[in-house]
Chain A
């Protein structure tokens, strides 16, 4: 990694409790490079206006800025349809409401996995309660992978398979190509929660073949509050708008309304304009370096940290294979996770503790939470070494 890349993140210059910040909570959210901050600031300073309506210059600039995000998403992910949402959670809820309610009937089955984030479980539980849909959960095996035999057996009569691209707890990337192929053979659509996947490896959505793919900007150096749902053509036309209001209509009369034919029909209300402009800047910025090479560097780093922690008697959950994300979830046998996180924070290290919004997975693993260190493109080998040294010191003094 070039020093120049790291220097583009102003926040990484700050100190926390008197120590240089070592930010290892990237699976929760990533930091933003200066170009993203500038893009959002420029919009509010120079071009702020609402989109899609007025003819004045600012409105034109705002519309162009907002729509450039959609164009960038389509180009980067090779997708024909990109609905802009508030994030992954809203994108998944959109599938549940716009596609699920239009398609699923009592007795239909939806396949989920125990590895899902709560955002890919709760919307389906809510719909199941409303519609009498059967939910089937694919178990996670002791080697932190999906039980693919159980998956194959779960497909009979399934209408939809919801699967996480890469686990936010384990960093394990699922065998998505196999899952998509088997699901389609069985006649089921596939929704991929790619919130933790696309920050580490870009996806050719058309070739990938999933019917829906959801992800968030803020986990890939973009702003919070914005994300996307990519939808394959053919499937898109079967979705019905569920949120009504401005921007999504074609005409409104007292007798009824007609809707926009394109993605706008799922984007009711004034959208996240500055955020879309910030995300475009982030997506362009991600083209300024070799993401594959960065990912290879980070997974090596994560694998090294995992081995060092194991050598200290710490249990590490995950396998750190070449396609996995650079996430190291761990538990010390005696040191409480919350205490450990506070001690780390006292030396400037930011990590996450808790259930990571994936309680079914943790229940399967027989634990209630982990400490999670997650690495991204600006993290250095020196930071990883400092982290391991700090853990050693804490274990020595407090365990």
Chain B
């Protein structure tokens, strides 16, 4: 079973209403400001998203059954996708969070493929975040 939280569904529709890819990228770049920033001083090998062309770091914290997703990236594109994930995960339990599929990035017309590869920072980031949620996050 997969699902899109309401806030994410609204974002998908907003992106789908914009025909020009460049405009969609501009919208995405603005969403980079939505992340709960993981300060550079806390970037470690454990937070690094592997296979990204740029530096990208994530940390998932779970406290009292609530998620907190901290992230940051050199690329606005990657951090924008982190911003979308931040909005999507807000207020969700870990059990709900892992039901969000990665397809939203493609549905929003932001990525050409979701195939994991060394150039697909988003997919690597998504997989890392979901794995950390499944493992209960950082204590």
Q: Could you mark each residue 7-23 of chain A with 1 if its beta carbon is under 8 Å from any beta carbon of chain B, else 0?
A: 00000000001100000
The reply to whether A347 and B54 form a contact with Cβ atoms under 8 Å apart is no
Q: How far is the CB of A21 from chain B (nearest CB, A)?
A: 13
Cross-chain contact of B74 among A336, A343, A398 (Cβ < 8 A):
A336
The reply to whether B75 and A336 form a contact with Cβ atoms under 8 Å apart is yes
Given contacts A354-B53, A369-B53, contact A339 B22 (CB under 8 A): no
| B48, CB-defined interface residue at 8 Å | no
Q: How many residues of A contact B (CB 8 A)?
A: 15
The reply to whether B75 and A339 form a contact with Cβ atoms under 8 Å apart is yes
Closest to B52 in A: A338
Cross-chain contact of A354 among B29, B78, B119 (Cβ < 8 A):
B119
Cross-chain contact of B53 among A337, A345, A347 (Cβ < 8 A):
A337
Contacts of A346 in B (CB 8 A): 20-22, 24-25
The reply to whether A343 and B22 form a contact with Cβ atoms under 8 Å apart is yes
Contacts of A339 in B (CB 8 A): 25, 29, 75-77
The reply to whether A398 and B29 form a contact with Cβ atoms under 8 Å apart is yes
Closest to B111 in A: A342
Q: How many pairs of A and B residues are in contact by the CB < 8 Å rule?
A: 44
Supply 6 further A-B pairs (C-beta < 8 A) apart from A17-B21, A346-B22, A347-B22.
A336-B77, A338-B74, A339-B29, A354-B53, A354-B119, A369-B53
For the complex, what is the distance from the CA of A342 to the CA of B29, rounded to whole Å?
Answer: 11
Contacts of B94 in A (CB 8 A): none
For the complex, what is the distance from the CA of A353 to the CA of B74, rounded to whole Å?
Answer: 14
Contacts of A347 in B (CB 8 A): 22
Q: Could you mark each residue 69-110 of chain B with 1 if its beta carbon is under 8 Å from any beta carbon of chain A, else 0?
A: 000001111100000000000000000000000000000000
Contacts of A343 in B (CB 8 A): 22, 25
Contacts of B21 in A (CB 8 A): 17-18, 345-346
For the complex, what is the distance from the CA of A4 to the CA of B118, rounded to whole Å?
Answer: 37
The reply to whether A338 and B22 form a contact with Cβ atoms under 8 Å apart is no
For the complex, what is the distance from the CA of A354 to the CA of B75, rounded to whole Å?
Answer: 12
Closest to B109 in A: A17
The reply to whether B77 and A342 form a contact with Cβ atoms under 8 Å apart is yes
Q: Could you give 26 example pairs across A and B, Cβ below 8 Å?
A: A17-B21, A17-B22, A18-B20, A18-B21, A336-B54, A336-B74, A336-B76, A337-B53, A337-B54, A337-B75, A338-B74, A338-B121, A339-B75, A342-B77, A343-B22, A343-B25, A346-B20, A346-B21, A346-B25, A347-B22, A353-B53, A354-B53, A354-B118, A354-B119, A369-B53, A398-B76
Q: Could you mark each residue 343-378 of chain A with 1 if its beta carbon is under 8 Å from any beta carbon of chain B, else 0?
A: 101110000011000000000000001000000000
For the complex, what is the distance from the CA of A347 to the CA of B25, rounded to whole Å?
Answer: 11
Q: How far is the CB of B116 from chain A (nearest CB, A)?
A: 16
Interface range, B side: 10 to 19
Closest to B54 in A: A338
- The 3 closest A-B CB pairs, nearest first, are A346-B21, A346-B22, A338-B75
Contacts of B19 in A (CB 8 A): 18
For the complex, what is the distance from the CA of A354 to the CA of B74, rounded to whole Å?
Answer: 13
Q: Could you mark each residue 144-183 of chain A with 1 if its beta carbon is under 8 Å from any beta carbon of chain B, else 0?
A: 0000000000000000000000000000000000000000
Interface residues of A in 88-126 (CB under 8 A from B): none
Contacts of B53 in A (CB 8 A): 337-338, 353-354, 369
Closest to A338 in B: B75
Interface residues of A in 73-94 (CB under 8 A from B): none
For the complex, what is the distance from the CA of A354 to the CA of B78, rounded to whole Å?
Answer: 15
Contacts of B121 in A (CB 8 A): 338
Q: How far is the CB of A163 from chain B (nearest CB, A)?
A: 26
For the complex, what is the distance from the CA of A17 to the CA of B77, rounded to whole Å?
Answer: 17
Closest to B110 in A: A342
Interface residues of B in 110-124 (CB under 8 A from A): 118-119, 121
Q: How far is the CB of A371 from chain B (nearest CB, A)?
A: 10
Contacts of B24 in A (CB 8 A): 346
Contacts of A336 in B (CB 8 A): 54, 74-77
For the complex, what is the distance from the CA of A67 to the CA of B121, rounded to whole Å?
Answer: 43
For the complex, what is the distance from the CA of A264 to the CA of B97, rounded to whole Å?
Answer: 57
For the complex, what is the distance from the CA of A24 to the CA of B53, rounded to whole Å?
Answer: 19
Contacts of B54 in A (CB 8 A): 336-338
Contacts of A338 in B (CB 8 A): 53-54, 74-75, 77-78, 121
Q: Could you mark each residue 362-399 of chain A with 1 if its beta carbon is under 8 Å from any beta carbon of chain B, else 0?
A: 00000001000000000000000000000000000010
For the complex, what is the distance from the CA of A85 to the CA of B75, rounded to whole Å?
Answer: 38
Q: How far is the CB of A296 from chain B (nearest CB, A)?
A: 33
Residue of B20, B24, B118 ringed by the most chain A CB atoms within 10 A: B20
Closest to B78 in A: A338
Closest to A343 in B: B25
Contacts of A17 in B (CB 8 A): 21-22
